[in-house]
Amino acid sequence: MELGPITFHLYALCIIAGIAIAIWLGDKRFRAQAPDAKSVVSEVAITAVPVGIIGGRIYHVITSPDAYFGSGGNPVDAFKIWEGGLGIWGAISLGVVGAWLRYRQLAKRMELPNFALFLDSLAPGILFAQAIGRFGNWFNIELFGKPLQAPWALEVPVQYRPSGYSSFETFHPTFLYEALWCALLAFALIKFGKHLAPGQVFSIYVMVYSIGRLAIESIRIDSAHTIAGLRLNIWVSVLVAIAAAVTLRAQSRKGQ
């Protein structure tokens, strides 16, 4: 979108809006646990957000190398984050590492709760950020699913349709499904997560989101690497969901 001499990339604006909401809600929830921890979330975000974006981009490029290093690909495009392409697993993984490192530094000069409680405070906001970020895929006309005839189906111009689907006009808006799934999970965690053991809110977020991602990945038709006939992200979702379930069980026993 262009406004005079200035070009706005709507995908990037969605990401920025999501980050802003995640920081605001995370700060509100965290200060309910630690009233004196003013600006801790924003200070951690200064490190965690860029590290998370880098992690998300690295994951995307690694799992979709042909678009950048294959025939007709341009390696420079790997740096064009505003054109879309952030892998949530890479973003969360490196983002948490960055947050943990910064949180440890802050904990040396002020009394802070356990890092697990910090992650619990952030989880709903992260989900809302993911939901908002997914609308960037709508602006970029990407990450839609199989052909669909329904009132909510997405109409895709022919130049954006994958090979073999040029005769179809409307498709599953999988990015919308994921946005709704994230928003519903965020509201559920806010409402029902108050009495859980430290770390369980974040573990439930990872586990339940992964389960939803399994269903969403099964109807996506964009190009992706496969293992044993299944998309790579399906395998990752299964492994992450299992790991989160094991962690949740361990946290439950510790809480008891």
Which tens digit of pLDDT belongs to each residue from 85-103?
A: 778 889 999 999 999 999 9
- pLDDT (tens digit per residue) in 63-80: 777 778 877 777 888 887
In the chain, which residue ranges form alpha helices assigned H by DSSP? 10-33, 40-63, 66-69, 88-107, 115-140, 174-192, 200-217, 232-255
Q: Is the pLDDT of residue 163 over 90?
A: no
**For residues 81 and 138, which has the higher predicted lDDT (pLDDT)?**
138
The one-letter amino acid at 38: K
Sequence-ordered list of residues with C-beta below 8 angstroms from that of 127, at least 6 positions apart, any chain: 182, 183, 185, 186, 189, 205, 209
Residue 240's pLDDT band (boundaries 50, 70, 90)?
Answer: very high
Helix (H, G, I), strand (E, B) or coil at 86: coil
**For residues 81 and 175, which has the higher predicted lDDT (pLDDT)?**
175
Tell the residue number behind the tokens 């361990």, with chain if given: 250
In this prediction, residue 36 carries a pLDDT of: 84
In this prediction, residue 228 carries a pLDDT of: 86
In this prediction, residue 93 carries a pLDDT of: 93
Whole-angstrom Cα Rg for the chain: 19
- Separation between Cα atoms, residue 132 and residue 202, nearest integer Å: 19
76-80, 178-182, 213-217: least confidently modelled range: 76-80
- Separation between Cα atoms, residue 27 and residue 127, nearest integer Å: 15
Helix (H, G, I), strand (E, B) or coil at 247: helix
Q: Is the pLDDT of residue 181 over 90?
A: yes
12-26, 63-77, 236-250: least confidently modelled range: 63-77
DSSP state of 145: B
The pair of three-digit structure tokens given for residue 125, joined into one six-digit string: 């906001």
Supply the pTM of this predicted model: 0.89
Sequence-ordered list of residues with C-beta below 8 angstroms from that of 212, at least 6 positions apart, any chain: 178, 181, 185
**For residues 90 and 255, which has the higher predicted lDDT (pLDDT)?**
90
28-37, 77-86, 117-126: least confidently modelled range: 77-86
**For residues 253 and 87, which has the higher predicted lDDT (pLDDT)?**
87
Section 174-188 average pLDDT: 96
The pair of three-digit structure tokens given for residue 155, joined into one six-digit string: 């109409």
DSSP letters along 11-63, please? HHHHHHHHHHHHHHHHHHHHHHH-TT-TTHHHHHHHHHHHHHHHHHHHHHHHH
